[in-house]
């Protein structure tokens, strides 16, 4: 009886092993999930953030203030990506979008506590500035996927974290509102802090600027060719006028002296909004309007989708051809 039971169990074990093997063969992917050499094409879209003099001082206040979602900005575009190693790839991107910030985001910091003189929330809130810039950006980044550096173990996982860094060139067009009007106007030609007026004023910067993007992402292999990912990218810039605010206030006399009457009137109402919102006198010329010691930056949080272009070339780490 015992021998019969053992034979039955043995037959069942063999059947289970054969069944599992057949199922595994049926559902085995066409190739190992390690990226082959070649090109991918894709697109990305997501939200943007402006990190400058306008807005909140801390990132926590930036994201948690009650007015953050009143005006969300977006950026999207397309990219080509060439993988030359399972863990290394070069990505070329072209993006278009806008960034936005407003001093109204400091409302939570002054609500209920009053306007305390010298308090950072109060100073920014009373300044009442807002800023928007449209951006066209082209960039080149080097990607590194650390878990695929050695072709074993976690290299074959479909989900992979990665980091990237590179260089970008972008063109920006800055905007702000006039007084209490909700209408945005272009501010580059308004020289809000006297840019380009002479030696004692700030230089007039170019609207073409370099940037240095740093990215952290997570990518899913949906199949042999299709990939879905999420990515946070922060761009470091070399100038402080992406939001149109950096140095000191200038006087109404200086605006009238250096600009046409129509342009001067518009510039005065854009450069100093304090009298319009807080029934106060204009800010004293020469006092700080922003912080010239910190350059501006901008960032994106995007969803990416890409397709790996089929190729019959041999990959360097395998003798197989696809």
- What is the structure's pLDDT at 27? 38
Task: Count how many residues are written for the chain.
Answer: 322
Average pLDDT over residues 260-267: 96
Cross-strand pairs, 124: none
Average pLDDT over residues 236-265: 96
pTM: 0.85
Distance CA 217, CA 163 (A): 6
- What is the structure's pLDDT at 41? 97
pLDDT tens for 217-248 read 999 998 888 999 999 999 999 999 999 999 99
- What is the structure's pLDDT at 114? 61
3-state secondary structure of 176: strand
- What is the average pLDDT value for the chain, to the nearest integer? 87
The dihedral over CA atoms of 152, 153, 156, 157, expressed in degrees to the nearest 10, equals -160
Residue 269, CA atoms < 13 Å, CB-side half-sphere:
17
Residues 6 or more apart whose Cβ sits within 8 Å of residue 144: 87, 88, 162, 163, 164
Tell me the C-alpha to C-alpha distance, in Å, between residue 125 and each of 110, 114, 133, 153, 280.
8, 11, 20, 53, 13
CA 191 to chain centre: 27
C-beta separation of 41 from 307 below 8 A:
yes
Q: Which helix (DSSP H) or strand (DSSP E) does residue 297 occupy?
A: strand 297-308
pLDDT tens for 59-113 read 999 999 999 999 999 999 999 999 998 899 999 999 999 999 999 999 998 886 6
Residues 6 or more apart whose Cβ sits within 8 Å of residue 112: none
């Amino acid at each position: 009886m015992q021998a019969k039971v053992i034979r039955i169990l043995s037959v069942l074990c063999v059947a289970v092993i054969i069944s599992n093997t057949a199922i595994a063969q049926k559902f085995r992917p066409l190739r190992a999930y390690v990226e082959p050499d070649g090109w991918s094409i894709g697109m990305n879209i997501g939200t943007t953030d402006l990190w400058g003099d306008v807005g909140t001082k801390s990132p926590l206040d930036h994201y948690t203030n009650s007015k953050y979602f009143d005006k969300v900005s977006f950026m999207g575009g397309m990219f080509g990506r060439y993988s030359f190693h399972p863990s290394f790839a070069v990505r070329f991107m072209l993006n278009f979008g806008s960034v936005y910030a407003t001093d109204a985001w400091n409302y939570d910091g002054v609500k209920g506590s009053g306007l305390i003189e010298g308090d950072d929330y109060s100073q920014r809130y009373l300044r009442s500035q807002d800023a928007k810039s449209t951006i066209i950006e082209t960039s080149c980044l080097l990607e590194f996927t650390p878990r695929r550096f050695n072709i074993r173990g976690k290299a074959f996982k479909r989900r992979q974290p990665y980091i990237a860094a590179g260089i970008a060139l972008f063109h920006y067009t800055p905007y702000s509102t006039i007084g209490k009007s909700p209408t945005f106007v272009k501010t580059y030609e308004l020289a809000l802090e006297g840019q380009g007026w002479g030696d004692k004023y700030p230089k007039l910067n170019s609207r073409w600027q370099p940037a240095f993007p740093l990215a952290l992402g997570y990518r899913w292999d949906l199949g042999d060719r299709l990939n879905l990912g999420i990515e946070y990218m922060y761009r470091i810039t070399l100038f402080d006028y992406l939001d149109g605010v950096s140095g000191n206030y200038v006087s109404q006399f200086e605006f009238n002296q250096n600009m046409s009457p129509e342009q001067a009137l518009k510039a005065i109402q854009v450069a100093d909004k304090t009298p319009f919102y807080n029934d106060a006198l204009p800010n004293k010329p020469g006092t700080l309007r922003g912080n010239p010691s910190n350059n501006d930056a901008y960032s994106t949080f995007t969803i990416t989708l890409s397709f790996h272009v089929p190729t019959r070339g041999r990959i360097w780490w395998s003798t197989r051809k696809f």
